[in-house]
Amino acid sequence: MATAYRHLPAKAPVDRIEQHDDVPQIPGPWELIEDPSDRPFDARAAWAHRETGQIVAVVKNVRPTQMHTPETSRDDTGYNARVYRPDTTGERDLSSELGSKDAAWVSAIRFMAKYPAGDYEIPELDTWDYGTTVEW
């Protein structure tokens, strides 16, 4: 495993991530949360910032394709990256679209590299509309 990905769990799609030349290294203050019981409930993998407690995770989601006629709706399944407040009173998806597992990993890594201090300001849960995403 490449040293740039030393913080990735064993099930990470490292071979596909390494094909992206522009994927940065995970900054030192971000540490992999190895115990699944310490991760957000829907996270496949998660990293916590050592100093601020902010969490970035790769999550698997299921969303209906449309809501106006539920009987013809089907569910889309995919992955995205999500950032959580340290006090767990809010969270935001890094993308409004569900994608592949490796695309979610790359988004999570890029977000951690852009905010190495773990200081991205996430509004509290009651101050934003459901389904809105992070603008980063």
- 96-131 pLDDT, tens per residue? 788 888 889 889 999 999 999 998 887 766 665 655
For residue 38, what are the contacts with CB-CB under 8 A and spacing of at least 6? none
pLDDT at 99 (0 to 100): 85
Residue type for 78, please? Answer: G
Q: What local confidence, expressed as pLDDT, does residue 101 receive?
A: 85
List the structure tokens of 88: 């767990």
The pTM for the full model equals 0.74
Task: Give the residue extent of every domain in the chain.
Answer: 3-119
pLDDT at position 129 is 60
Tens of pLDDT, residue by residue over 53-98, are 999 999 988 877 776 777 777 788 889 999 988 876 778 888 878 8
Count of H helices and E strands in the chain? 2, 5
Q: State which amino acid sits at residue 107.
A: S
Q: Residues near 134 by Cβ (< 8 Å), separated by ≥ 6?
A: 83, 92, 93, 94, 111, 120, 122
For the cut 80, the answer to whether the pLDDT of residue 11 exceeds it is no
Q: Is residue 83 within 8 Å of 54, Cβ to Cβ?
A: yes
